[in-house]
Structure 1
Amino acid sequence: MIEVKDVTKRFADKVAVDALSFTVKPGEIMGLIGQNGAGKTTTFRMLLDFIEPNQGNITWNGQVLNNNLRQKIGFLPEERGLYQKLSIEEQVLYFAELHGMNRRDARHDLALWMDKFNVVGRPTDKVQKLSKGNAQKVQLIATLISHPEFLILDEPFTGMDPVNADIILNEIHELKRSGVTIIFSSHNMSGVETLSDHVTMLRHGQTVLQGETNQIREQYGRTEIYLEAPQTDAELLAIPGVRKVEPELMGRRVFLTDPDVGRQVFALVSANGYVQAFSQQAPSLDQIFKQEVAKGEN
């Protein structure tokens, strides 16, 4: 279990992370979100023991990080760092040995991972010959090759097409089922919403949202309706409490000032007894994220 208690990090007079606390248990995934500069990278660096907090404690199963524990951490940085002139094998085996694996086992596992991730190429191919997507999969293999117990993934889906993103998504789910503790960061809020058991959002180093994803959404109320019905925008906007209507997919999204207004919208669109689609929902994590970012800019 990773436990962060009241952690603060300052650089000169700037507070990069302010009194941050969270717990992530084995088999759980926490999404760490926020704009660039919110404090996510600083948090990752403290979790990895690259830098020390000014205040607070970070422990893994009650222990302060040491060299033995550090070898059990897998880290995928946002800025990929593969050596272009080395082969896939040279690169991955190097990282595996840093984490205590022997070359024979690592070479065997590399072949399995390349097959599992559908990497186009051979272990002896130079990284510079790989497509961007394949290079990113190789970097992820280098992160996973040592079978980490704690995994930090910074923007794991960047540059991935939908097919390859699904391959990575399925692997993350498999790692979760096997009991790996996972923290990941992404600007793709739909991915965060799909993957995360709980979420922490930072804004200027401060925690502004924290909890289970569905609970966070419900805190904002069911103030949105996805609707497929023949009524015009003008008819919907004439209902007091409907603040705007926007096209979405095959229908429209209706935004309410109060969840109770949904009853009036439903009464209007169901007057003839049939509605193609009506779903009253809490705002998505993406919309909540944008709303909280906007608060910080005011």
Structure 2
Amino acid sequence: MLEVKHVKKNYGTLTAVQDLSFTIKPGEIFGLLGTNGAGKTTTFKMILGLLEPTNGEILLNGKKISYEDADHIGYMIEERSLLVKLKVKDLVLHYGALKGLDKETILERLDYWLKRFNIESYKDKKIKELSKGNQQKIQFITSIINNPKLLVLDEPFSGLDPINTFKFVEVIRDFQAKGTMIIFSTHQIDHVESFCEQLIVLEKGNPVLSGKISDIKKDFKKHNIKIIADCEPETIKGIKGVIDVITQPNEIIVKIEDESCAKDVFDYIKTCDNVRKFDIEQASLSEIFIEKVGETFEQV
């Protein structure tokens, strides 16, 4: 289990992370979100033991993370950190050796992952000869070659097309099934919503939203109503509790203050012709993120 307890990190007079706490159990995927400069990278470095917290503590299975834990941790950073003049095989041998693996084990696992990602022919190619997407695959392989018990993924889908994104998702799910603890950070919030049960949103180092995604969405009062009918958007805008009405090519989206407003909207829609759809939905995680982060900007 990974425990982050009331962690704070200062750089001189700048507070990069303030009173951050969360717990990740084996087999859980945890979302760590935030805008650029929110404190995510600093948090990752503290979890990896590369930075010491100013206050608080980070424990892995009840103990402070030490150099001995490095062999059981995988980290995929957002920026590519590949040695582009090396061949794929030599690069992975290098990273595998840093994790305490012997050459035979590294090459056996490398062959498996190259086949899994359909890039077997690239084993003896130099990194610089690969496309950005294939370089991303190699970087991912270097982060999982040691079968980590804790895996930190920072923007893992950057530069990937939908097919290869799906392949990454399959692999991440496989590690989750094996009991790996996974910390997942991305700007593609739809992935967080499909992957994670819990998350924390950071803004300027401060947690502004945290908890189970299901609870966060339930507690967020604003809802959306999706309508397909011959109706007048201006009439809907005049209904009490309606925040906005967005007319799209195939449907109308009505944003309401809370679910209690839906009855008045429905009463109007019943009077309209050709009603084919009236669905009430919770706000998306993306909408909640934008509102919560926007609130912190307004307070600064």
Which TM bucket (shorter chain)? Answer: over 0.9
Deviations 1:2-48 (A, max 9, x none): 00101110011111111110000000011000111111110000001
Q: Report the alpha carbon displacement of residue 249 of structure 1 after superposing the two structures with TM.
A: 6.4
Please show how residues 76-87 of structure 1 align to structure 2 within 5 Å.
76-87=76-87
CA distance in 2: counterparts of 1:285 and 1:121, whole angstroms: 40
Deviations 1:145-188 (A, max 9, x none): 11000000000111111111111112111111110000011111
Q: Is the 8 A contact 1:119 1:138 kept in 2?
A: no
Q: Is the 8 A contact 2:35 2:203 kept in 1?
A: yes
CA distance in 1: counterparts of 2:161 and 2:230, whole angstroms: 36
In structure 2, the CA distance between the partners of 1:114 and 1:249, relative to structure 1 (3 Å rule), is farther
Asked if 1:193 corresponds to 2:193, the answer is: yes
Give the aligned partner of residue 48 of structure 2. Answer: 48
CA distance in 2: counterparts of 1:67 and 1:117, whole angstroms: 31
Which amino acid in 1 is paired with 2:131? Answer: S
CA distance in 2: counterparts of 1:173 and 1:249, whole angstroms: 36
Deviations 1:94-149 (A, max 9, x none): 11111111111111111110111223732001111111111101100111111000
Structure 1, unmatched stretches of 5+, are: none
CA distance in 1: counterparts of 2:179 and 2:256, whole angstroms: 41
CA distance in 2: counterparts of 1:248 and 1:82, whole angstroms: 44
In structure 2, the CA distance between the partners of 1:144 and 1:248, relative to structure 1 (3 Å rule), is farther
CA distance in 2: counterparts of 1:138 and 1:225, whole angstroms: 43
Asked if 1:104 corresponds to 2:99, the answer is: no
Q: Is the 8 A contact 1:237 1:245 kept in 2?
A: yes
CA distance in 1: counterparts of 2:215 and 2:2, whole angstroms: 22
Identify the range of structure 1 (218-227 vs 38-47) with the bigger mean alpha-carbon deviation.
Answer: 218-227
Asked if 1:246 corresponds to 2:246, the answer is: yes
Structure 2, unmatched stretches of 5+, are: none
Identify the range of structure 1 (204-213 vs 223-232) with the bigger mean alpha-carbon deviation.
Answer: 223-232
Q: Is the 8 A contact 1:89 1:124 kept in 2?
A: yes
Q: Report the alpha carbon displacement of residue 222 of structure 1 after superposing the two structures with TM.
A: 4.7
CA distance in 2: counterparts of 1:46 and 1:110, whole angstroms: 29
Which amino acid in 1 is paired with 2:196? Answer: S
Q: Report the alpha carbon displacement of residue 192 of structure 1 after superposing the two structures with TM.
A: 0.9
Asked if 1:68 corresponds to 2:68, the answer is: yes
Asked if 1:294 corresponds to 2:294, the answer is: yes
CA distance in 1: counterparts of 2:61 and 2:128, whole angstroms: 40
Identify the range of structure 1 (252-261 vs 30-39) with the bigger mean alpha-carbon deviation.
Answer: 252-261
Q: Percent identity?
A: 36
Please show how residues 120-159 of structure 1 align to structure 2 within 5 Å.
121-159=121-159
Q: Is the 8 A contact 2:233 2:247 kept in 1?
A: no
Which amino acid in 1 is paired with 2:83? Answer: Y
In structure 2, the CA distance between the partners of 1:120 and 1:225, relative to structure 1 (3 Å rule), is farther
CA distance in 2: counterparts of 1:33 and 1:170, whole angstroms: 21
Give the aligned partner of residue 57 of structure 1. Answer: 57
Q: Is the 8 A contact 2:241 2:256 kept in 1?
A: yes
Secondary structure at the aligned position of 1:118 is classed as coil
Q: Report the alpha carbon displacement of residue 274 of structure 1 after superposing the two structures with TM.
A: 6.7
Identify the range of structure 1 (244-253 vs 192-201) with the bigger mean alpha-carbon deviation.
Answer: 244-253
Please show how residues 202-221 of structure 1 align to structure 2 within 5 Å.
202-221=202-221
Q: Is the 8 A contact 1:87 1:123 kept in 2?
A: yes
CA distance in 1: counterparts of 2:197 and 2:20, whole angstroms: 18
Q: Is the 8 A contact 2:229 2:272 kept in 1?
A: no
Which amino acid in 2 is paired with 1:233? Answer: P
Which amino acid in 2 is paired with 1:252? Answer: I
Q: Report the alpha carbon displacement of residue 223 of structure 1 after superposing the two structures with TM.
A: 2.0
Q: Is the 8 A contact 2:97 2:103 kept in 1?
A: yes
Q: Report the alpha carbon displacement of residue 272 of structure 1 after superposing the two structures with TM.
A: 6.3
Q: Number of residue pairs matched? A: 298
Identify the range of structure 1 (277-286 vs 189-198) with the bigger mean alpha-carbon deviation.
Answer: 277-286
CA distance in 1: counterparts of 2:294 and 2:249, whole angstroms: 25
Secondary structure at the aligned position of 2:58 is classed as strand
Deviations 1:60-107 (A, max 9, x none): 110111222121000000111111111111111111111111111111
In structure 2, the CA distance between the partners of 1:55 and 1:105, relative to structure 1 (3 Å rule), is same
TM-score under structure 1 normalisation?
0.96
In structure 2, the CA distance between the partners of 1:154 and 1:235, relative to structure 1 (3 Å rule), is same
CA distance in 1: counterparts of 2:65 and 2:83, whole angstroms: 28
